[in-house]
Structure 1
Amino acid sequence: MATVIISALLFVFVLFACRSAWKRQRNGCCGNDIQRLKKVKIKGDKCRDYPYRSLLHIDGMTCQNCARKIENGLCSIEGVCATVRLDQKEALVRMKRPLPESLLCGAVAKAGYTVLKVDFLPQSGHRSL
């Protein structure tokens, strides 16, 4: 009797594992369609006009949904415009005014990812990285 119960539990576990793997294969690691995850719109000026820049090196990004979550988290901060590069595992953050590293790292952490390193870049006029 115990063998039957254990076998049934293992079967249910394997069934859920296969279902999860199938969803990730179909929809990406985050399980959402990229079309459902809208990009946060930046109010006001164009991003290239923001003089302060930081480069965040981020751990845990594996798909475009991950990148969009991080980008939205950073862009939701007032005076911030961010662009995430999934292939390089980094985010270029442009700011109207200098912001503390902890604020930027907190926005990334709230999205569910980890900032490994923050590089503060020299101020720029209208040049892009």
Structure 2
Amino acid sequence: MGNIIVYIILIAVIAMAVYGTVKRIRHGSSCCGEREAAPKKIRVSDRNKKNYPYIYELKIDGMYCSNCARRIENGFNCKEGMWALADVGQKSVRLLTKEPADESTCRKITSDSGYTLISFKQINS
């Protein structure tokens, strides 16, 4: 009888551990909230890099996880003629544009996404 109770308790503990792990995998466990689902990725319609002659390197403050990166990318990707690729490790965004971009526009998009633009540099001419 004692062994059955121990097995039931053990099964309950394992079930709770599996449930927690599955929940973290599905919804993430990050600085952006454990309970929130990751934001849906906004993809640019034109994915041909040759159509984006202007390339900028943006340094971002406050970007700590893949959900942060996706929020910043989505902020730029929803604008026509912009394609952002975020790098969490470098806390930077490579921004490709079809037309010249100005720092104030990029600062506003970054701020609206909830982050701070530290530096804005064009890396080609």
Aligned to 2:54: 52
Structure 1 residue 45: Cα displacement: 4.7
Partner letter of residue 33 of structure 1? A
Higher alpha-carbon Rg: 2
Structure 1 residue 48: Cα displacement: 4.5
The one-character-per-residue Cα deviations of 1:62-87 (angstroms, maximum 9, x if unpaired) are: 11100100000011111000100000
C-alpha contact (below 8 Å) 1:47/1:81 kept by paired residues: no
Partner letter of residue 29 of structure 1? C
Task: Give me the CA root mean square deviation.
Answer: 1.7
SS of residue in 1 equivalent to 2:80: coil
TM-score for the superposition, normalised by structure 1 = 0.69
Q: Distance in 1 between matches of 2:89 and 2:50?
A: 22
Aligned to 1:72: 74
Structure 1 residue 42: Cα displacement: 0.7
Aligned to 2:112: 110
Q: Distance in 1 between matches of 2:108 and 2:80?
A: 14
The one-character-per-residue Cα deviations of 1:1-23 (angstroms, maximum 9, x if unpaired) are: xxxxxxxxxxxxxxxxxxxxxx9
Q: Distance in 1 between matches of 2:120 and 2:46?
A: 26
Q: What is the number of residues matched between the two proteins?
A: 97
Aligned to 2:86: 84
C-alpha contact (below 8 Å) 1:82/1:94 kept by paired residues: yes
C-alpha contact (below 8 Å) 1:67/1:86 kept by paired residues: yes
SS of residue in 1 equivalent to 2:44: coil
Q: Structure 1 residues 48, 90: closer, same or farther in 2, change over 3 A?
A: farther
SS of residue in 2 equivalent to 1:28: coil
Partner letter of residue 52 of structure 2? Y
Q: Distance in 2 between matches of 1:92 and 1:68?
A: 13
Q: Distance in 2 between matches of 1:45 and 1:65?
A: 21
Q: Distance in 1 between matches of 2:87 and 2:124?
A: 19
Q: Distance in 1 between matches of 2:51 and 2:89?
A: 25
TM-score for the superposition, normalised by structure 2 = 0.71
Partner letter of residue 30 of structure 2? G
The one-character-per-residue Cα deviations of 1:6-43 (angstroms, maximum 9, x if unpaired) are: xxxxxxxxxxxxxxxxx9xx621111333xx1111212
Aligned to 1:5: none
Which consecutive residues of structure 2, in runs of 5 or more, have no partner in the other structure?
1-23
